[in-house]
Amino acid sequence: MSKSLIPAQRRQKILEYLQFHQVASISGLAEMLGASEATIRRDLEWLEAEGIAERTHGGAVLTQRMPLEPPYARSAQAHPEEKHRIGLAAASLVRNGETIFLNSGTTTTQVMHHLLARQDLRDVTVITNNVTAALAAPSLGFEVVLLGGYFRPVATSVFGHFATAMLRQVSADRAFIGVDGITLKYGCTTPASGEAEIAQVMIERTHGSVIVVADHSKWGVVSNFEIASLESLDIFVTDMGLASEARSALEARSVHVLLAGERPGADGNGRGES
């Protein structure tokens, strides 16, 4: 099986761990990854040189100043498996002829991929500020409207006055909103104010269901800018890692929770890796 990880894999796992726990100890990482402490130490040194983490005695903490040029941070998608499944489940909610909003983020990009994979969809229009999602579109079959505005390379998305002004000229049947944090008290939040504004206007201009997509690690997280309170949401698509109390609390607030992978179904998507 997994004989031993290559350096890049190990560093990715460390980064994932850090993104979740903020802080990690050398001894803990060494045991978890099956490597010696000397190796972990070298990895942390590398992460520090990349500006991702900061060394401390006995371990490391995640760098605070997050949104400034993360050379590696972006490639390290946090929970690829979960996001994949969430995208699949979310995409299955769309019906023929609908117009949908899609904001930026790796999870919503997954939704786009699974939308494109659905052979049964016709006349679907996607309106998005997510450039990566737009790029995934084929030459035929889908109409994609890309919002205009200031380009944000780290997220490959656009934001700003032009984007929101353009949004106010359109509307959609559904909105798929990726968020960085979701709690009962503060609702959905994100660290970039421009992204928050886009998502707000998208929700405002959706006359059908508003669907938030996020893996379970986002539950209980509060970021700087509010996108929407829970009252604005209709469906929350996440993975099975969500605590059951969280689910009940959300349902009590009339947010329908959809756990991706709940019913495997006869999918046979084909890719079965370990």
Least separation in angstroms between CB 68 and DNA:
22
Q: Binding to its own copies by residue 263, rule CB under 8 A?
A: no
Residue selected from 18, 24, 47, 59 as contacting DNA according to rule CB under 7 A: 59
**Which partner from the list its own copies, DNA, none does 39 bind, CB cut-off 5 to 8 Å by kind?**
DNA
By CB under 8 A, which span of 74-82, 96-104, 178-186, 226-234 interacts with its own copies? 74-82
Find which of DNA, its own copies, none residue 63 binds, CB within 5 to 8 Å per kind. Answer: its own copies
| Contact region with DNA (CB under 7 A), list: 50-58, 97-105, 138-146, 256-264 | 50-58
Q: How many CB atoms lie within 10 A of CB 143?
A: 11
Rounded to a whole number, what is the largest CA-CA distance in the chain? 58
**Number of neighbours of residue 211 by Cβ within 10 angstroms:** 25
CB-based contacts of 6, cutoff 8 Å, min separation 6: none
> Contact 174/206 with Cβ under 8 angstroms?
yes
Work out the angle between the directed axes of helices 26-33 and 7-21 (0-180°, nearest 10).
Answer: 130
Least separation in angstroms between residue 209's CB and DNA is 44
Question: From CA 145, how far away is CA 122, in angstroms rounded?
Answer: 16
Alpha-carbon distances, residue 268 vs 88, 115, 271 (angstroms): 12, 16, 8
Check binding of 186 to its own copies (CB under 8 A): no
Q: How far is the CB of 65 from its own copies (least distance, A)?
A: 8
Q: Which stretch binds DNA (CB under 7 A): 38-46, 128-136, 161-169, 197-205?
A: 38-46
What is the SS3 assignment for 52? coil
Where does 50-146 have alpha helices with state H? Answer: 80-91, 106-117, 131-135
Point out which residues bind its own copies (CB under 8 A): 3, 5-9, 12, 16-17, 20-23, 25-27, 32, 56-65, 67-69, 71-72, 74-77, 80, 84, 131-132, 134-140, 143-151, 153-154, 156, 158, 162-163, 166, 169, 271, 273
